Amino acid sequence: MKISKTAIDGVVIIEPQVFEDERGYFFESYNQAKMEEAGLHYNFIQDNQSKSSYGVVRGIHFQKGEYAQAKLVRVLEGTVLDVAVDLRKNSPTFGKYVAVELSAENKKQLMIPRGFGHGFAVLSKTAVFAYKCDNVYNKASEGGIRFNDPDIGVDWKINPDEAILSEKDKNAPFLKEVTCF
């Protein structure tokens, strides 16, 4: 397992060791002991999965307060651009983001600590996205930021005018309008 730091403290890319032969492949997608050896101490308690089509953007979502969540995310089918936005108000990288292409082919994972917004755009015909969370989802604690917020400036690798969004995401506030941090 290779763990690489990103430009934002706490967000890391995890690349498993993949064993391939004529039958297919095998890899260890999660190993708590190896994560802890790397200084990543998380107790995951909930797994989620979604399937989306090309152009779907999910996010930028977050959970606040006692229901904040760390997430370990990966793609089981297809390709996405995965984005983690630093929402820690006193962080030197507040409002900055890390974007990583995750795919079934590259098998990369992104570890996103608590205090971050998260979203992804589907770059393939379809994508199956999976994530482990270290806290339960709580509807009253959810929040969102507009995916095309110019103060954040994410290049989602799709035409923003063609993005497929939920009503909630279409109407999400801009970062400067959110006061819960």
Closest by Cα among 84, 162, 156, 159 to 118: 84
Asked if 61 is an active-site residue, the reply is yes
Beta-carbon contacts of residue 104 (< 8 Å; ≥ 6 apart): 75, 76, 77, 78, 79, 128
Residue in 42, 97, 118, 131 annotated catalytic: 131
Asked if 42 is an active-site residue, the reply is no
Residue with tokens 């497929």: 164
Alpha-carbon distance 75 to 41, whole Å? 22
Residue in 61, 67, 97, 137 annotated catalytic: 61
Residues with a catalytic annotation lie at 61, 131
